[in-house]
């Protein structure tokens, strides 16, 4: 195993700069997930680590070795691709051990590693089949088996589950997590799916337009997003962003006023001072999960009621139901449990813990709590 370090890594394609000065350290044995929308630079960053893309500027280290000019086959990495990249004319067995044979590994060691990978990935019944006779999930397990037997320092995953249906993605997430738990190999995983990021990662890197927006543990990013982009990208459903006005009395959302809790008063005071002490527009962030039906809520010292909210849409989701309602000039969503038997076009009283409310600067998008 080995750590991976990127120091001011830049990637240019002619006049287009796709990755802007990325500084990142992936610790030995860590599972790091790069997440962001299409075109944000996450796959390009992964491919630079793999050696499949040249680094325009900066340094990439695997362990203590600078690998900028080291060809991919000499970096001791194993990569799992989105499209499986299997040899169609070779059996599952031959696909898995192909790299070991090219490296002239001893036959007994090849047999041992193949048996271990096939057992872990439940591929024993399929070893003599060709890829065309496998399902998408089975093909992806073969691709992971080929990586596992390599005994590499680093595993790289480039959106490996994007071609699978929802159930298979869930199953394969479990497989990947189990593999990492068993092997502990440093892993870097690229996805646009924030659910994969939240469930797999030790730490998450949120990227946009070639820049890193935030790095942290999944729940730290979920609970303390650095800016509006991270707040709305991480979480399903995404954080509600409401248009409000901040003044000395609190935050005004239409006819509702949210007092500023003690822990956030310094943030509010700094925001008002920056605006010359006058009332100022502000973006309010509240996750749907943090609303509660007041009929069943236990009111804490920092809880506030939002009464008479008009419900527009109710979406039953099994144990949960998501409701869309209006507050002030904004539309918002709340996730409630089955006790809230609410109907569309009715009203509901919701409670929210003000400690869970975020203040964002409408111009910069930054979380004022994290920059105050």
Give Cα separations from 234 to 26, 225, 266 (angstroms): 21, 8, 26
Contact 274, 362 (CB under 8 A): no
| Residue 42, φ and ψ in degrees, nearest 5 | -70, -45
Q: Where in the chain is the domain with CATH 3.40.50.300?
A: 4-233
Q: Where in the chain is the domain with CATH 2.40.50.140?
A: 240-371
Q: Which residues of 247-277 are buried (b: 16+ CB within 10 A; e: fewer)?
A: beebbbbeebebebbeebeebbeebbeeeee
Element of type H or E holding 14? none
- When the candidates are 2.40.50.140, 1.10.10.10, 3.40.50.720, 3.30.750.24, the CATH number that belongs to 240-371 is 2.40.50.140
Residue 200 half-sphere exposure, CB side, CA atoms within 13 Å?
Answer: 33
pTM given for the model: 0.89
pLDDT of the chain along its 372 residues, tens only? 699 999 999 999 999 999 999 999 999 999 999 999 999 999 999 999 999 999 999 999 999 999 999 999 899 999 988 888 899 999 999 999 998 888 888 999 999 999 988 988 889 999 999 999 998 888 988 988 898 898 889 999 999 888 788 888 888 888 889 889 888 999 999 999 988 999 999 999 999 999 999 999 999 999 999 999 999 999 888 999 999 999 888 889 888 888 888 878 888 888 888 777 788 899 999 999 999 999 998 888 889 999 999 999 999 988 899 999 999 888 999 999 989 989 999 999 999 999 899 999 999 999 988 654
- Reading the block at residue 55, the tokens are 């680094």
The dihedral sign for the CA sequence 199, 200, 202, 208: negative
Secondary structure in 3-state letters for 224-283: CCCEHHHHHHCCCCCCEEEEEEEECCEEEECCEEECCCHHHHHHHHHHHHHCCCCCEEEE
CATH topology of domain 4-233: Rossmann fold (3.40.50)
Q: What is the spatial distance between Cα 84 and Cα 316, in angstroms, rounded to a whole number?
A: 36
């Amino acid at each position: 195993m080995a750590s991976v370090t990127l120091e001011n890594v830049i990637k240019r394609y002619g006049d287009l700069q796709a990755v802007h000065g990325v500084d990142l350290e992936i610790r030995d044995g860590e599972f790091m997930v790069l997440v962001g929308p299409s075109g944000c630079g996450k796959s390009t960053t992964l491919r630079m680590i793999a050696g499949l893309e040249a680094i325009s500027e900066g340094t990439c280290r695997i362990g203590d070795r600078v690998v900028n000019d080291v060809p991919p086959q000499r970096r001791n990495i194993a990569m799992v691709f989105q499209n499986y990249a299997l040899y169609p004319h070779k059996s599952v067995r031959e696909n898995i051990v192909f790299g070991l044979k090219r490296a002239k590994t001893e036959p007994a060691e090849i047999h041992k590693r193949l048996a271990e990978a096939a057992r872990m990935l439940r591929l024993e019944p399929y070893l003599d089949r060709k890829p065309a006779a496998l399902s998408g999930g089975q093909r992806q397990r073969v691709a992971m088996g080929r990586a596992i037997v390599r005994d590499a320092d680093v595993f790289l995953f480039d959106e490996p589950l994007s071609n699978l249906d929802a159930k298979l993605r869930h199953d394969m997430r479990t497989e990947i997590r189990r593999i990492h738990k068993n092997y502990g190999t440093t892993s870097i995983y690229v996805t646009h799916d924030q659910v994969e990021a939240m469930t797999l990662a030790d730490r998450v890197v949120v990227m946009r337009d070639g820049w890193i927006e935030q790095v942290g543990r999944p729940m730290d990013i979920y609970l303390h997003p650095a800016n509006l982009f991270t707040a709305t990208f991480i979480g399903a459903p995404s954080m509600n962003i409401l248009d409000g006005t901040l003044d000395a009395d609190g935050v005004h959302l239409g006819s509702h006023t949210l007092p500023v809790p003690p822990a956030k008063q310094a943030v509010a005071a700094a925001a008002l001072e920056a605006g010359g002490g006058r009332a100022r527009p502000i973006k309010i962030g509240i996750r749907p999960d943090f609303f509660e039906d007041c009929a069943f809520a236990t009111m804490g010292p920092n809880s506030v009621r939002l009464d008479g909210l008009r419900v527009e849409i109710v979406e039953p989701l099994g144990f949960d139901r998501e409701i869309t309602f209006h507050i002030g000039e904004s539309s918002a969503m709340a996730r409630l449990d089955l006790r809230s038997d609410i109907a569309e076009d009715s009203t509901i009283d919701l409670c929210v813990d003000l400690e869970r409310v975020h203040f964002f600067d409408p111009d910069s998008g930054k979380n004022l709590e994290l920059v105050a």
